[in-house]
Amino acid sequence: MNLEFEINKDKKIYIQIYEKIKNDIISSLLKKDDKLPSKRKYATILNVSINSIQSAYNILLEEGYIYSKYKKGYFVNNIFFKEKKDINVQKEIKILEKPIYDLTTSNILDLEISKNIINKLARNILTDGNYFQRVDSFGYLKLKESISKLLYDQKDIIAHPNQIIISNSSNNLIKMIIELLNIKKIAVETPGYYNSKSLFIDCDYINVDKQGFSAKEFENSSAKIGLITSFSEFPLGIKMPLERKLELVNILNNKNKIIIEDSFDSSFRNNGYQTTPLFNMSDKVIYLESFSRTIYPGLCISFMVLPNWLINDFYNHFKDISSSISTFDQQLATEYIDKGYYTRHINKLRTSFLNRKKLIEKNLDNDLFEIYSDLNYSSILVKIKKDINIQLFKKELEKEKIKINFLSNFCKTNIYDDILIIGFSNINETNLIVALEKIKKILRKI
């Protein structure tokens, strides 16, 4: 055992001794149960004071590198360390490249975000300095009041601010309801956005027919809760008619079931009228909406509206939770809504979405595609007419940096693999045309 080393007079001596012994233990130069020199002997070897040795040994004892035996001395502890590896993670993990042509519907186009307005509002909030304190766990009261007014103006929903619960994502709000009601299974749409992987719960997949979420299948399901997108079913875009809503209301009343009504894309309607929310028709419905889909993706604010009978149970059950969203973000969203920017922003998005939708229809090749569904506000579903190797097609799309979903991505079983969901919410018109030409070129080639 060689514990000699050159002492650096410019550094604390006891720290140097501690680091020398520690490093020798980590590198296995000192092994389990090896005895260290006595304090006096080691002080003589290094020509330092006994106090320096004692201080170093005390730190090693405290951190567990060594142990002591009465009247016998100090010994190396049994410590295991992971083998040091190259910390360059890029060599081990494949870094996913950002697509050049994003034909999904998860975001809105960067250029269409009201950055100047949002920056101005942010500066004002920073100047006022009222964002330092935490807000209520269930949401900033002023934001709840703003949402209440917005829901009344745009959806004809009457909701008291106390009914509104704000969180950082729709999934988190859904999970809170699942926990509150002790739900073991939930009914979801197929094809649809939600599934057992995203919700971490057993799902009963209810088929979507021409009127949307199947009432008959839901009635026969053992699931107590149904999760639906009635305003614009994703990904097919079906608008649930009043007839189907009345069927569901009847089931809710007679079977003691509950529905969570996700308002997906309802703000982008461009036909001049709003369908009646299921929330307005039954007290067994919970309404759900997200601002990350409308204001900007980085604003992680979602909210739900609870029926009156559920409010007290919810507040009592989650009374100890903390807010998952910063006060600053909630104040920003409040200002954006109250000053009328939100409504103007949505109107602009409706127009640009409609223009890009028409552009796709104009540039489709009828020999390669037929429109499967054009009911969505932010995408068109097209069926590929020719028989192709789908896996090869997907590889070619990846090579061209085209990101696009297939209808099969949202189905329980691997069907509809020949139906593309051409989203246009996150791509400009120039890139949209280029992407369509590349897709057509690939299809002609394979």
Residue pLDDT, tens place only, 101-143: 999 998 898 889 999 999 999 999 999 888 887 788 899 999 9
**What is the edge-to-edge ordering of all strands in the sheet holding 302-305?**
164-167, 302-305, 285-290, 258-262, 225-228, 185-190, 202-209, 212-213
Residue 261 has φ and ψ, to the nearest 5°, of: -100, 100
Residue 42 near residue 36 (C-beta atoms within 8 A): yes
446 part of a folded domain: no
Q: Which residue has the higher pLDDT, 269 or 201?
A: 201
269 part of a folded domain: yes
Residue 264 has pLDDT above 70, yes or no: yes
Per-residue pLDDT tens digits for 153-208: 999 999 999 999 999 999 999 999 999 999 999 999 999 999 999 999 999 999 99
Q: Which H or E element spans position 160?
A: none
Residue 396 has pLDDT above 70, yes or no: yes
Residue 295 has pLDDT above 60, yes or no: yes
The answer on 229 and 137 residing in a single domain is: yes
Sign of CA dihedral 48, 49, 53, 56: negative
Domain boundary among 307, 323, 338: 338
The answer on 173 and 50 residing in a single domain is: no
Q: Give 303's Cβ-side CA count (13 Å radius).
A: 25
Residue 211 near residue 243 (C-beta atoms within 8 A): yes
**pLDDT range class, residue 403, cuts 50, 70, 90:** very high
> pLDDT at position 81, please?
60
The answer on 172 and 298 residing in a single domain is: yes
The answer on 192 and 70 residing in a single domain is: no
Range of lowest pLDDT (53-62, 171-180, 186-195, 413-422): 413-422
What is the domain-level CATH number for residue 182? Answer: 3.40.640.10
Per-residue pLDDT tens digits for 68-86: 999 899 999 987 665 555 5
415 part of a folded domain: no
Domain boundary among 338, 356, 376: 338
276 part of a folded domain: yes
Per-residue pLDDT tens digits for 213-240: 999 999 999 999 999 999 999 999 999 9
The answer on 139 and 72 residing in a single domain is: no
348 part of a folded domain: no
Residue 87 has pLDDT above 90, yes or no: no
The answer on 181 and 39 residing in a single domain is: no
Which residues does 88 contact at the CB level (< 8 Å), separation at least 6?
A: none
Residue 272 has pLDDT above 90, yes or no: no
258 part of a folded domain: yes
373 part of a folded domain: no
> pLDDT at position 313, please?
97
- Mean pLDDT of the residues in the chain: 92
Q: What total of structural domains would you count in the chain?
A: 2
3-state secondary structure of 258: strand
0.85 exceeded by the pTM?
no
What is the domain-level CATH number for residue 18? Answer: 1.10.10.10
**pLDDT range class, residue 26, cuts 50, 70, 90:** confident
Q: What are the CA-CA distances from residue 301 to residues 223, 298, 393 (Å)? A: 28, 9, 37
High-pLDDT (> 90) share of the chain, %: 81
The residue range of the domain holding 145 is 131-338
Residue 270 has pLDDT above 80, yes or no: no
Residue 2 has pLDDT above 70, yes or no: yes
- Residues 19, 4: Cα–Cα separation, whole Å: 13
Neighbouring CB atoms inside 10 A of 398's CB total 13
> pLDDT at position 9, please?
85
Q: What tokens does 440 get?
A: 């057509």
Residue carrying structure tokens 């360059």: 88
Domain boundary among 76, 106, 123: 76
> pLDDT at position 134, please?
79
